[in-house]
Amino acid sequence: VLSHLKTITDPLLDPMQFAYRANRSTDDAVNMALHYILQHLESPNTYARILFVDFSSAFNTIIPDTLLSKLNQLAVPEHTCKWIISFLTDRKQQVKLGRITSDTCTISTGGPQG
C-alpha cells in the first residue's frame, strides 16, 4: 500500500516538506532553511524571520475524515481511500496488564503503530 501511495502522492507533495518522508531529516530541513535565509540576507537592508513547527504525535492524532479529504485532494483512487479509512476506523483495542485485561473499546482516531 505504501509504495502505491508514494507513486501517487510524492510528486504532489511540497519539496519543502521534510517530515514523514524518506531520506529527509530535521537536519535537512534546518540546513535548507539556513541556506535560504543566508542567501536572502546577502541583499542589503533585508531581514528574515523563521518559524519551525513540530507536529508531534501525528500518527496518534489522525482524524479519518480529515485524512480522506486530503487524499481526495491528492487524487488518490477511491478504492485506496476506502481501504485506508476502513483500516483506521472502528478498530478494537484493549489493554492487558499481567493477568488483567480491560474491556474492549472502539477507537476511530489515530493510526496503529509498531
pLDDT digit string (tens) for 60-79? Answer: 888 999 999 999 998 889 99
Q: Quote the pLDDT of residue 20.
A: 78
Q: Is the pLDDT of residue 113 over 80?
A: no
Q: Quote the pLDDT of residue 65.
A: 93
Q: Which residues of 38-50 are buried (b: 16+ CB within 10 A; e: fewer)?
A: eeeeeeeeeeeee
Q: Quote the pLDDT of residue 86.
A: 92
Q: Across the strands, what pairs with 107? A: 91
Q: Quote the pLDDT of residue 89.
A: 92
Q: Quote the pLDDT of residue 114.
A: 63
Taking residues 48-59, what's their average pLDDT? 80
Taking residues 8-25, what's their average pLDDT? 85
Report residue 52's pLDDT band, with 50, 70 and 90 as the boundaries. Answer: confident
Residue whose C-alpha is closest to residue 59's, from 2, 5, 25, 110: 110
Q: For the chain, what is the mean pLDDT? A: 89
Residue whose C-alpha is closest to residue 9's, from 56, 73, 82, 65: 73
- Separation CA 17–CA 28 (nearest Å): 10
